[in-house]
Amino acid sequence: MHIPEQRFGTGFGKPKFPILLPTTSLADLANKDCWFGMHQLHIDLEFMSLDVKEWATNAALKKSEVNVCAMNVVNDCAERGVKLTSDFVAVARKEQHRQNVLQAVEHDRSQQLAS
């Protein structure tokens, strides 16, 4: 199975958003990473050979949809910011120190989003 190329080592980070044109189709947006994700989530790909109108009644796709919707998702960047803020604001005694902590957290957050 193919492992996504842009998610590990020096390539770790957010994927680049594609340029969408009026002529862009769903097939243009699918890449190796999409198939990796479907494989990792154990999504039965049988539905891909069906007409789109039949997807709503396909039992395998409905089961996969239930499994995906039941997943817990964590925004690691936001969690890290909340933890950093709560750890340091608790020990800040003066308002100026609190403000400095909040500015440092905001700076860290912007650095994480930029990478």
Q: What is the pLDDT of residue 57?
A: 92
Question: How many structural domains comprise the chain?
Answer: 2
Mean pLDDT on 1-17: 59
**Cα 34 from Cα 2, distance rounded (Å):** 10
Query: With 60 as the cut, is the pLDDT of residue 112 above it?
Result: yes
Q: Check whether residue 22 and residue 55 sit in a common domain.
A: yes
pTM over 0.75: no
Domain hosting 64: range is 9-69
- The CA angle 11-14-20, to the nearest 5 degrees, is 115
Does some domain include residue 89?
Answer: yes
Q: Check whether residue 16 and residue 55 sit in a common domain.
A: yes
Mean pLDDT of the chain: 78
Q: Check whether residue 44 and residue 19 sit in a common domain.
A: yes
Q: What is the pLDDT of residues 95-107, one digit of tens each?
A: 888 888 788 878 8
Does some domain include residue 3?
Answer: no
Does some domain include residue 23?
Answer: yes
Q: Check whether residue 39 and residue 63 sit in a common domain.
A: yes
Q: Check whether residue 86 and residue 63 sit in a common domain.
A: no
